């Protein structure tokens, strides 16, 4: 307590100013982080609900699958069923199922969080907008071109590894809410390719090569689990190529040499 005529404690005054500055800096950063979280959550939920628009197109989905199967034969692409048969054991197939079910969304969330926290603002915005563009384009194709996945065609030599060995992404209540005919394009491949592309352009080289390994594993996994055709990945890569031509990074002149920063201390919070 300061008595009349007594000078304020300089330590308390300094601490008060420091606390005020901290609140001024962390407050906008926290609000910005919450805004980004809500935006990404809404977009992902919109995509999930949008996929359901084509969930009952059974006849068209199977006809499209027959066309894709014939097209791959004409193009002399390797048989997905033959590749699945080369997997040496059920343990490997089970591991592929786990990778398919467990890595897809967490990898994208980790990528976005890492970009938001540790990279310059322009890099994060570019990557986020690229994700939005690719995912939106994929949703349009899912609605317009429902496609039954290979696992629905045992007559072609495919085994539904998720149903046989687990875990099954389409079992139970979650399966009732899923669109199993959203095979083309493969967003598993599309998102993995996007992460690798962005990191090779702007991220640490070691992390870019980790992302490349993730992409290679994803391509193999979606095929050996009979969840996607080769063409599903090809279409995903084509959409990413188009999106990357439309969504360009915008590097501010004063940020051209900016180094990675952390969320709480970044000077970029003033621009969010």
Place of tokens 């563009």: 133
Could you list the residue range(s) of the whole structural domain that residue 40 is in? 33-271
- The two structure tokens encoding residue 41: 């959550």
For the whole model, what pTM was predicted?
0.81
Q: How many domains does the chain have?
A: 1
Report yes or no on 19 lying in a domain.
Answer: no
Report yes or no on 4 lying in a domain.
Answer: no
Helices 187-202 + 230-246 axis angle, to 10: 40
Report yes or no on 18 lying in a domain.
Answer: no
Burial class of 193 by CB neighbour count within 10 A (0 to 12, 13 to 18, 19+):
buried
Per-position pLDDT tens, the chain of length 272: 555 555 555 555 555 555 455 445 555 667 777 788 787 777 777 777 766 676 667 899 999 999 999 999 999 999 999 999 999 999 999 999 999 999 999 999 999 999 999 999 999 999 999 999 999 999 999 999 999 999 999 999 999 999 999 999 887 645 555 778 989 999 999 999 999 999 999 999 999 999 999 999 999 999 999 999 999 999 999 999 999 999 998 877 666 554 443 333 333 433 44
Place of tokens 């949008």: 50
- Name residues whose C-beta falls within 8 Å of residue 181's C-beta, 6 or more positions apart in sequence: 54, 55, 57, 58, 61, 142, 146, 147, 148, 149
- The two structure tokens encoding residue 151: 């696992």
Report yes or no on 132 lying in a domain.
Answer: yes
């Amino acid at each position: 307590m300061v008595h009349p005529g007594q000078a304020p404690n300089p330590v308390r005054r300094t601490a008060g100013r420091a606390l005020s500055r901290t609140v001024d800096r962390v407050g906008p950063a926290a609000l910005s982080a919450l805004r980004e979280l809500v935006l990404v959550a809404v977009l992902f939920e919109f995509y999930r609900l949008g996929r359901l628009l084509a969930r009952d197109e059974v006849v068209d989905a199977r006809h499209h699958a027959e066309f894709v199967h014939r097209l791959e034969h004409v193009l002399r692409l390797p048989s997905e069923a033959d590749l699945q048969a080369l997997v040496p054991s059920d343990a490997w197939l089970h591991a592929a199922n786990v990778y398919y079910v467990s890595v897809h969304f967490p990898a994208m969330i980790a990528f976005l969080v890492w970009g938001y926290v540790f990279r310059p603002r322009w890099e994060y915005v570019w990557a986020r907008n690229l994700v939005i563009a690719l995912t939106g384009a994929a949703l349009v194709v899912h609605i317009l071109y429902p496609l039954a996945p290979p696992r629905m065609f045992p007559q072609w030599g495919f085994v539904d590894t998720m149903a046989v060995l687990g875990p099954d992404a389409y079992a139970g209540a979650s399966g009732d809410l899923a669109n199993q005919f959203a095979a083309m394009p493969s967003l598993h491949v599309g998102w993995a390719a996007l992460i690798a592309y962005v990191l090779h352009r702007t991220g640490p080289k070691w992390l870019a090569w980790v992302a490349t390994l993730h992409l290679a594993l994803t391509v193999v996994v979606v095929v050996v689990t009979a969840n996607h055709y080769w063409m599903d990945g090809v279409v995903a890569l084509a959409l990413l190529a188009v999106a990357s031509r439309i969504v360009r990074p915008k590097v501010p002149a004063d940020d051209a040499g900016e180094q990675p920063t952390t969320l709480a201390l970044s000077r970029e919070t003033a621009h969010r």
